[in-house]
Structure 1
Amino acid sequence: MPDLVPRLAEAELEDLMRSFRIVIVNGPRQSGKITLLEQFQRRHGGVYRTLDDEAILNAALDDPATFARQEPAPVLIDEIQRGGDSLLRAIKRVVDQNRDRGQFILSGSARFLTVPTLSESLAGRAALIELWPLAVSERVAASPDFLLRAFTEPRSLLVADSRWSRADYLRVTVEGGYPELLFSTAPSRRARWFRSYVTMIATRDIREFATIRHQNAIPRLLSLLAASLGCTIVNTHLSQAMEQSWETTRNYLSYVETVFLTARLSPWSTNLTSRIVKSPKIYLTDPGLAAHLLDADPAGLLDDDGARRGQLVETFVVNELRKQLGWSRARAELFHFRDRDGGEVDIIVERPDGRIVGIEVKSGLTVTGRSFTHLSRLRDRLGDAFVHGYVLSFSPDPLPFGDRLTALPISYLWQAG
């Protein structure tokens, strides 16, 4: 497979299969889960089954106990959510009777713990991996740990200038990370692929666990979310635009999150920052899909100095960080910060001990002291809990901007220099 891109999740899957009876690989459709499972099977053997095959699905539904006892181990089952609770309970019985490690890999394109039709969680028996579309780190064959260095060695990031141009950044933003589109440059083909992708998820995947009243509701919701990327969600505005009640709109928001089309950044606060705006930000999980919904292309974005370019680049950075959390040694969570006094930081990265890194994203070539206004205020408010603040931009120059403040090229997320 000359076009196969090695995934940084492979090592984690290998490690977890040595430690747990079950590993669950979750992620959006077409993110590469099947390829990851097939590669694992080539190295370790076992049985691979996909419940997207109707005959195999029927066998699993008709006799889940027999289906769960296939040999040899490991048993790899794709689209596990389609098998329902009966299959999950059968798998639970197998691993309770035999406590050997590495018995099952269960893969699904819906968030395993939030699918309304599933009540069995396999808690205490399974580890979870989220496999997102390709990170730029994977595309350029790098394995950095920006987040760990951001917390532990900020000065080590002040190295050579970046070789990435504005055009490079906008190209990878619009391309997104779906492996199927990695080697496709024809805009018309990409547009058809994205349209079909959204339609399939809206008309099949979501309808397997939820009732959608209007066929175009999910595509419309995604378009509205794309138009407000990086903004806090105002409930009344969104439900009015959807021409539905807030309760229905809220349900639809949970559905698109369940199938990994969106992810949210919750608001961050401490007792020192109590005047926060409590609404989450919602991002599409692939900037290429967002660009498709906004009808944006790299050439047009080069000339766009408005909000659209900034929103797409922020979406790109948020998703690169989310992917990196999957392999980073810096255990952390992502949040956003905004208070009622107008202070706003695009991304807050918080470690379990309460230390934080703040990140602002700019889609221009110029970084000045004013770019750090909100980061410096947060630094002064938090004291030692504030480890460092970074402004990531198209500028090629890594530069210090005072106490615990640094400007970095966006490319340092995957490649310093």
Structure 2
Amino acid sequence: MNYTPRAVDANLREMLRGLPAVSVEGAKAVGKTMTAGRLARTTIRLDRREEAELLALDPSRLRRDPTPVLIDEWQLMPESWDLVRRAVDDGAGAGAFLLTGSATPRARIHSGAGRIVRVRMRPMSFAERQVETPTVSFASLLADGRADIGGNTEVGLGDYAEEIVRSGFPAVRAQDGVHRRDSLDGYLTRIVEHDFSELGHVVRRPKVLEAWMTAYAAVTGTTATYEAILDAATQGIGDKPTRPTTAAYRDTLERLWILDEVPAWVGSRNRLASLTQTSKHFLADPALAARLLGVGSGALVDQPQPGKIVARDGTLLGALFEHLVTLSVRVHAEVERARVLHLRTKGGEHEVDLVVERDDGKVLAIEVKLNPLPGDKDVKHLRWLREKLGDDLLDAVVVTTGPLAYRRPQDGIAVVPLALLGP
């Protein structure tokens, strides 16, 4: 499979010029091995038993092999993490080690703080999928000053519905529709039947775990309580799983990088004191949510007449479109070393879908709307936040499914189709 450039590429190259060890972490199939492997001169794949055995027999090879040395799927041999950490302590130079990991093991290991720098890699953003040529730079939106907004696209609602179910996993999206669905179903089955046990978690009632994951997918983009998710997952089940059991589900799914929740923004410099601290629920990829819910693109959009595409289930499509936007924003924010959060007041009077925070506390606010031409109602929370934050608000953006990128003349809020948002 030909390599598709990823947003993290430039960051990894830059980090290896100054850091001895970098760990690229994320869910299986996001492309970690291919991305890191392009920078490595030596690759040790610990998912191959003979390579793991050779490293166990001769760990000193890490200091002899040509660098960077890539240790792929390090969690399968947790002691490899400590081997790298000790090599760094002993003076390994910049660019000595790359690690990739698809899970955080239960084994007790040193945190690696100060020795191994972690980088999160996610499924492909919309820009990385090369569906359209972006015209609006995320980096410029997050920078000081007023970003240029412009461009047009023919990517529309039907295309976004297709991209939601097509997945951001490189190998999965390369397949046709039937095989892609089979691959995603197999991915989800593997989580339940194999990956949990690989981390030492025995799933005694796999159907309950599958139902919990489906209920979780159904609350995509919301702050629903875990009690509500459990109730939805266990309707009709007399012997319900305990809270510790479902808490263990969450813990393991987080360690597998399958849950990718957006934390709440609690306000910079104490200007906002009434914000909820509940995270918003998202999986690693919107295609996983769609498969758990059993929906394809045809269940999300309809074509009542030639050339006209409309939402069949606006609530579900809106949630999954927000998932796709959130994934894309997080990929771009990782490159910029910025945090992605959400805002909601405790009473629910105000909500902002995404708040991207720089390390100086200044933020970019983003609302997500299916509406191709957002009106005043669609930007009211962005206007409210601008009044509250003043100069600490770098910019305000509505990401849409529309054809044009522009600034609204009445308030200067940027309107950007997702297809035109690039790094």
Amino acid at match of 1:35: M
Deviates more, 1:317-326 or 1:362-371: 362-371
Partner of 1:51: 46
Of residues 194, 198, 203 in structure 1, which corresponds to 2:193? 203
Distance in structure 2 (CA, Å) of the matches to 1:354 and 1:37 = 31
User: Greater CA deviation, 96-105 or 133-142?
Assistant: 133-142
**Deviation digits for residues 78-113 of structure 1 (CA, Å, limit 9, x no counterpart):** 1101112x33223222222233222211111114xx
CA shift, 1:292, in A, is 1.5
| Aligned match of 1:326 | 334
Counterpart for residue 181 of structure 2: 191
Matches within 5 A, 1:77-88: 77-84=71-78, 86-88=79-81
Counterpart for residue 107 of structure 1: 100
Q: Shift of residue 177 of structure 1?
A: 0.9
- Cα deviations across residues 104-146 of structure 1 (Å, max 9, x unaligned)? 11111114xxx33242122211222222222222222868773
Q: Is 1:274 paired with 2:273?
A: yes
Instruction: Give ranges in structure 1 of 5+ residues lacking alignment.
Output: none
- Tell me whether 301-310 or 215-224 shows the greater mean CA deviation: 215-224
- 1:214: how far off? 2.2
Offset of 1:283 from its aligned partner?
A: 0.4
Report how far residue 370 of structure 1 moved: 0.8
- Aligned partner of 1:71 in structure 2 is 65
Q: CA RMSD in A?
A: 2.4
* Rounded Cα–Cα distance in structure 2 between residues aligned with 1:364 and 1:154: 27
**Contact 2:22-2:98 at 8 Å conserved across structures:** yes
- Mark the runs of 5 or more structure 2 residues left unpaired by the alignment: 235-239, 303-311
Mapping of residues 309-320 of structure 1, within 5 Å? 309-320=317-328
| Structure 1 stretch displaced more, 396-405 or 303-312 | 396-405
* Amino acid corresponding to residue 233 of structure 1 in structure 2: A
- Secondary structure of the residue that 2:290 maps to in structure 1? helix
1:45-68 CA-to-partner distances (Å, cap 9, x unmatched) read 3x21111112323444x5463464
Secondary structure of the 2:353 match is: strand
Q: Indicate how the Cα distance of structure 1 residues 213 and 155 shifts in structure 2: closer, same or farther if over 3 A, else same.
A: same
Residue type of the alignment partner of 1:158 = I
Farther off after superposition, 369-378 or 401-410: 401-410
Alignment-derived partner of residue 151 in structure 1:
142
- Alignment length, in residue pairs? 402
**CA offsets 1:170-199 (integer angstroms, 9 cap, x no match):** 22222121111232222x212211111122
Give a deviation string over 1:350-372, Cα, whole Å, max 9, x none: 11222222111112333111111
CA deviations 1:229-250 (Å, max 9, x no partner) are: 0010313212333532223222
Q: Write the distance in 1 (CA, Å) between the matches of 2:136 and 2:372.
A: 24
- 3-state SS of 1:10 partner: helix
Determine the structure 1 residue equivalent to 2:3.
4
Tell me by how many angstroms 1:300 deviates: 2.6
User: 2:237 aligned with 1:244, yes or no?
Assistant: no
SS in 1 for 2:150: coil
Normalised by the length of structure 2, the TM-score is 0.87
**C-alpha deviation, 1:70, in angstroms:** 5.0
Identity of paired residues, percent? 27
The answer as to whether partners of 1:24 and 1:105 remain within 8 angstroms in 2 is: yes
Q: CA 1:145 to 1:164, structure 2 compared with 1: closer, same or farther past 3 Å?
A: closer
Give the partner amino acid of 2:245.
T
1:164 CA drift (Å)? 1.7
After superposition, the C-alpha distances for 1:143-173 in whole angstroms (9 at most, x for unaligned) are: 8773322233775443233332222222222
Q: Determine if the alignment matches structure 1 residue 406 to structure 2 residue 414.
A: yes
Within 2, Cα distance between the matches of 1:381 and 1:139?
Answer: 36
SS of alignment partner, residue 161 of structure 1: coil
Matched, 1:254 2:247: no
Residues 16 and 23 in structure 1, CA contact (< 8 A), matched pair in contact too? yes
Question: Counterparts of 2:298 and 2:38 in 1: how far apart (Å)?
Answer: 37
How many Å apart are 1:257 and its aligned residue? 1.6
Q: CA deviation at 1:25?
A: 1.2
Q: Residue 93 of structure 1 aligns to a residue in which SS?
A: helix
- 1:357-399 per-residue CA deviation (whole Å, 9 max, x = no partner) reads 2111112333111111212122222222223221111122324
Pairing 1:381–2:374 present: no
Counterpart for residue 89 of structure 1:
82
Quick one: structure 1 residues 160 and 88, their matched pair in 2 at CA, closer, same or farther if it must change by over 3 Å?
closer
Q: Which residue of 2 aligns with 1:38?
A: 37
Distance 1:14 1:145 in 2: 24
Q: CA deviation at 1:272?
A: 3.0
CA distance in 2, matches of 1:387, 1:135: 22
Distance in 2 (alpha carbons) for counterparts of 1:127 and 1:14: 13
Shift of 1:333: 0.8
Task: Return the letter of the residue paired with 1:391.
Answer: V
- State the secondary structure of the residue aligned to 1:128: strand
Q: Is the 8 A contact 1:68 1:87 kept in 2?
A: no
Secondary structure at 2:334's aligned position in 1? coil
2:111 maps to a residue whose letter is: S
